[in-house]
Amino acid sequence: MSDSRGLSLLIAAGILAIGIVIGGYLLGNGLVRARHADRSVTVRGLAERDVTADLATWTLNYSEQGLDLAQVQAAIDRDTETIQQFFHQLGFPENALQPAGAGVNQFYNNGVQTVTINQRLQLRTTDIAKARKAVARQFDLVRRGVVLQEGSGMVYSFTKLNQIKPSMVAAATKDARAAAEQFAKDSDTGVGGIKSATQGYFSIEARDGEQQGYGVADSPFKKVRVVTTVDFYLK
Q: How many domains does the chain have?
A: 3
Query: Which pLDDT does position 106 carry in this prediction?
Result: 86
Pair (63, 151) in one structural domain = yes
| Strand locations in the chain (E) | 40-52, 55-66, 97-109, 112-125, 154-157, 191-199, 203-206, 221-234
| pLDDT one-digit tens code per residue, 151-194 | 788 999 999 999 999 999 999 999 999 999 998 888 888 888 98
At which of 156, 188, 216 does a domain end? 156
| pLDDT one-digit tens code per residue, 7-51 | 565 555 555 555 554 544 444 443 334 344 568 889 999 999 999
Burial of 233 (0-12, 13-18, 19+ CB in 10 A): middle
Q: Name the residue range of residue 140's domain.
A: 56-156
Query: Which pLDDT does position 38 carry in this prediction?
Result: 65
d(CA 131, CA 128): 5
Average pLDDT over every residue of 183-206:
88
Pair (192, 211) in one structural domain = yes
Pair (64, 139) in one structural domain = yes
CB 197 within 8 A of CB 231: yes
Name 203's Cβ contacts closer than 8 Å, sequence gap at least 6.
Answer: 224, 225, 226
- Whether the pTM exceeds 0.75: the reply is no
